Structures are given as C-alpha cells and as structure tokens.
Amino acid sequence: MSHGKKDAGRGRSTGLTRTKTLYMSLCAIFSAFVVEMSLGVISNSLALMTDGIHALLDCVVTAVLLIAAKMAVKPPDAEHTYGHGKMESLGGMMGGIAILIIACFFIYESLHRMQSPPPAVLPGMLAIAGGLYAIGIDIFRIIILQRSLKQSSPSPSKDRGFTEGGYDGIGGGTTVRADLYHAIMDLGSTSVAIIGIAFAYVGAYQGDFVAALVLGGLLAVLSIRLVYRTALDLTDIISPSLVLYVRKITNSTDGVVRTGPILMRRAGDTIFADITISLRGDTSFERAHEISANVEQNIADRVPGSEVTVHFEPDWSGVPFNTRILDLARTVKGVRGAHNVNTHNMRGKVYADLHVMVDRKMDLTSAHAISETIEKEIKRQMPEIEHTTIHLEPFVEVPENFDLEDRMLNKRIRMILDRYPQVRSTGRIVSLIFEDSFKIEIDCSFDGSLSIETVHGLISEIERTISLDLDNAVITIHPEPAV
C-alpha cells in the first residue's frame, strides 16, 4: 500500500519552479560579474575586481546547484527506486563546501592585506557604482530565492500536534538554500567592498580588510552549518519527533491495534515512511486493506510530501479462542475445512475441541498426522489451552451444479426417517446427485417441547444413519417444531 502520487506531482512542480529560480539567479550573478570586472579594471579597484572574481566563482557554484536540482526532480527509475531527491542534498553540500573555501580565502586575504602597504592608486566613484549594481543584483537574488523556499516549504498543519511534533522542514530545497547563502554572502562581500572603497577613498584603507575579516568568519559559520545539515540528510537522518508524530497518527486510526516499526527517510521534498501495523487477527483482508488506506491518508493529510507504505500483521490478543483456533486449523496443510469449535474452562485450565475435515480418501495415519500438527500449533501459539481434541471428518466437495433429484433416493431416505418415532413429520426432501456425491436437505418436524440438545442429538444420529446407507453424502437436516 502506498500514497503520495498527488504529493509527488506537486513535488515535481516545485522542483521545476526551483530550477527556474536557480537559472534566474545564475543569469543575475553572471551579469554582476561582467559589470564588476569591467568597472574594476576601468577604475583600478582591486576590491571590485576581487568581488567580481568571487561573483564568477558563484556562477560556477550556482551552475552546479542548478544541475543538481534538475537531477533531483527526475522520476524514479530502475536504479533509483526512491527517486533522485538526494542529488539536491549532494548539490547543497558541494555548495556549502565552496562557500567555506571562499570564506577561508576572505579571511586569509584580509589578514594578508592588513600587513601590506597601502595601494598606490585608490578607486573612485565609478567603482562604487559597480558595487551598487552588484548589491541590487544580490537583493534581487535573495528575494526570488526566499520566495522559492517559502513555496516549497510544507504548509503549516492545522493539527497542533504537527507543530509540537517538531517537524524540522530540513531537506527539500537545499540547493536553493545553498544559493541563498551565496546571495547573502555576495551582498555582504559587495557591501564590504563598497565600504572598503569608500574608506580607501578618504584614506582609511584598513577598514576594507577589517570588514572582510568579519564577513569571512560569518560565512565560515554559515557554510559549516549548511554542510553539516546536508551531510545529515544524506545519511537518512530524520527528526525523532516527526517519527513520534507519525506513530501518533497511525495509532489514532480506527482499527489499528498497535504500531510496530516505523522506517522513515527523506529524499528531496518527499518523506518516505514504511510502517508496520498490527490488526486484530480475525480482521478480514478487505477490512485490513481499508484500515491501511486510512493510515496512509491520515499521514498524507498531516505530513505534506509524505509517501507511505503500510504493512499489516495479525494480532491475536483479545481475539476469542474459538476464532483463533478456527483460523489456525484452516491454515494447516491438508485441512479441507474446520467447524464446531468449542472451548471449556475447567479449574482454571482451558480445553478445546473442534471438527476438522480432510480428504475422504486419506488414510488414517496421514489424517492423524494432520490432527497432531494442529494440536502442536495450538499449543505453541496458545499455551493457555491445556488440551485440544480434534474430531476428524471426511470432506465431500459439494459442486454448484447437480443433476435432477432422484425420486427413488428420496423414498429410501423417508424409509430411514420412519424408524425414528421422534420425527413427527417429514417435509421437503431435496436430494441432488453429482457423479458419486449426494447433497441431501431434509425438513423434519419434532415435538416443540423437546430441548435443543435432544433435537441436536437426534439430528446427528439420523444424519449418521443416512450417511452409512449412502456413501459420499452431505446431509443437512432443518428441524422445525410440529404444529
């Protein structure tokens, strides 16, 4: 059982929006590179040219993130049955590592320049104009990237338990998040470049290096955090509170006795959940399927982007002994049918007996082996039962289509019934023949004051007498009170 086709479609749509956003970001940052490098050369601004080189490196990183995001939205295939969502986490990690390298370069360069003599040529207003253009591009990127992250984030649940459950929201959109960090870094670095140019313009050239040092430290912290989070995502980490929340949803579904192991993992925007539930052992397959579907739907309604697989297994605790024994007996190889299960409690011990049908041509040794198997299984699975008595019966398959009833056979049956004075009258006799098998249905009237126990004993005796006279007969007597 699984759910999530609608959510998967939404995830692919979100993924396409995400790649479009990254493409726009790539074009924007490339334009910033062209402008900064051009004006940096013209104005002889080392800070602006350095920031332009930084923008070029960001172009490369954003291109890598774009490729990862495109691969992440590819549908599952034979080699990636869970889809390609992990590619986005991998791309986010690569972006984070690139940020860390750039941050370390900023820190090194700042420390190096603090110890160097002031430059001979100082930049002017043209360099500041180039920096302002780059700042505008960075602000544009931050806006579109933040908007993309908000659109791909799960909608808040109306159920307070969802919020309190601690749904972490980490996972989907890591490529966009990495590029957002790049954009913030670019905004900061360009601002630092402008401030440095302004300070240098008035003679305090050391201000540029101090600001770059502070920015480099901040970027290092952000990049390490991003790498750490994406690394955890690649190891299939999942919030324990989210697992507890899914367990709460499952346990609250009508028909679920208990929830067993819950296996969860995230791939991109999709949360995969593999859940085992226990149902009453006497639950029909149709009802079990219905309960499983309800579990899937309940989780999908409260955990956006989830794709759920439910496995169900029987739980016999609380199920009556009779039902459990009947179900167990029918599963033993060679048993053609089981009925009339009775359990009795005597001095604190439970005793059981049941009727088991086997092939009518089976020899006694084989039939006895089947009964022993049933007894052992009952003892193993239900140790509360002290002893089980099994009545073996021949199984006669009753076909759906019979020949016309035989009048001579009906006459023989009436003659047998006449031997029993307790039978006040004999009504309808339907005797149907199929090859060497008989299906006989008889309506008999008895004294209405007789106990049901007495009537049952008479019926059993009559059925046994007819069976001795007619081989391969399936007999059913319907008792009625005499008028």
Q: Which residues pair with 446 in a beta bridge?
A: 423, 481
Mean pLDDT in residue range 20-46 = 81
Q: Given this model, what pLDDT does residue 202 score? A: 67
Q: Given this model, what pLDDT does residue 212 score? A: 62
Rg, the chain, Cα only: 40
Q: Given this model, what pLDDT does residue 428 score? A: 85
Query: Residue 133's CB: how many other CB atoms inside 10 A?
Result: 16
**Considering the chain, what percentage of its residues have pLDDT values greater than 70?**
70
Q: What angle do CA 168, 172, 178 make, to 5 degrees?
A: 100
Query: Residue 125's CB: how many other CB atoms inside 10 A?
Result: 11
Q: Is the dihedral of CA 251, 255, 257, 259 positive or negative?
A: negative
Residue 120's alpha-carbon distances to 129, 200, 469, in angstroms, are 21, 11, 125
Which comes out higher in pLDDT, residue 451 or 405? Answer: 451
pLDDT bin (cut points 50, 70, 90) of residue 191 is: confident
- Decide if 220 contacts 104 (C-beta within 8 A): yes
Nearest to 375 by CA among 395, 349, 358, 352: 352
pLDDT at 241 > cutoff 70:
yes
Distance CA 139, CA 137 (A): 5
Distance CA 153, CA 259 (A): 28
Q: Given this model, what pLDDT does residue 370 score? A: 93
Mean pLDDT in residue range 425-454 = 81
Nearest to 482 by CA among 443, 448, 455, 456: 448
Mean pLDDT in residue range 93-117 = 72
pLDDT at 412 > cutoff 60:
yes
Nearest to 245 by CA among 165, 158, 163, 156: 165
- Decide if 379 contacts 416 (C-beta within 8 A): no
Mean pLDDT in residue range 13-20 = 62
> Which residues fall within 8 angstroms of residue 113, CB to CB, at 6 or more apart?
208, 209
Q: What angle do CA 66, 69, 73 make, to 5 degrees?
A: 145
Q: What angle do CA 183, 210, 46 make, to 5 degrees?
A: 70
pLDDT at 40 > cutoff 80:
no
pLDDT at 172 > cutoff 60:
no
Q: Given this model, what pLDDT does residue 12 score? A: 47
Which comes out higher in pLDDT, residue 389 or 194? Answer: 389
> Which residues fall within 8 angstroms of residue 248, CB to CB, at 6 or more apart?
161, 165
pLDDT at 77 > cutoff 70:
no
Q: Given this model, what pLDDT does residue 249 score? A: 93
Per residue in 216-232, pLDDT tens?
676 677 778 777 777 77
Burial of 101 from C-beta contacts in 10 A (0-12 / 13-18 / 19+): middle
**Considering the chain, what percentage of its residues have pLDDT values greater than 90?**
10
Mean pLDDT lowest for which of 62-76, 130-144, 330-344, 380-394?
A: 62-76
Nearest to 338 by CA among 360, 355, 322: 355
Mean pLDDT in residue range 168-186 = 64
Q: Given this model, what pLDDT does residue 24 score? A: 86
pTM: 0.48
Give the DSSP per-residue string, 159-224: SHHHHHTT----STTHHHHHHHHHHHHHHHHHHHHHHHHHHHHHT-THHHHHHHHHHHHHHHHHHH
Nearest to 241 by CA among 160, 171, 163: 163
Q: Given this model, what pLDDT does residue 79 score? A: 59
Q: What does DSSP say about strands 2-3 and 258-267: parallel, antiparallel, or unpaired?
A: unpaired
Q: Given this model, what pLDDT does residue 157 score? A: 43
pLDDT bin (cut points 50, 70, 90) of residue 398 is: low
Distance CA 177, CA 150 (A): 11
Per residue in 459-474, pLDDT tens?
888 888 888 877 777 7
Question: Residue ranges of the alpha helices (H) in 332-450?
Answer: 364-381, 407-417
The mean predicted confidence, pLDDT, of the chain is: 76
Q: Given this model, what pLDDT does residue 92 score? A: 64
Residue in the structure block whose two tokens are 């290096």: 209
Which comes out higher in pLDDT, residue 422 or 11? Answer: 422
Distance CA 461, CA 293 (A): 50
pLDDT at 242 > cutoff 80:
yes
All domains of the chain, ordered by start, with CATH?
6-234 (1.20.1510.10), 240-315 (3.30.70.1350), 321-395 (3.30.70.1350), 407-481 (3.30.70.1350)
Which comes out higher in pLDDT, residue 87 or 421? Answer: 421
- Decide if 232 contacts 239 (C-beta within 8 A): no
Q: Given this model, what pLDDT does residue 4 score? A: 44
pLDDT at 95 > cutoff 90:
no
205 φ, ψ (degrees, to nearest 5):
-65, -20
Q: Given this model, what pLDDT does residue 223 score? A: 73
The first and second tokens of residue 391, run together, are 């009545």
Per residue in 285-328, pLDDT tens?
888 899 999 999 999 888 877 888 899 888 777 777 888 888 88
Nearest to 215 by CA among 181, 241, 243: 181
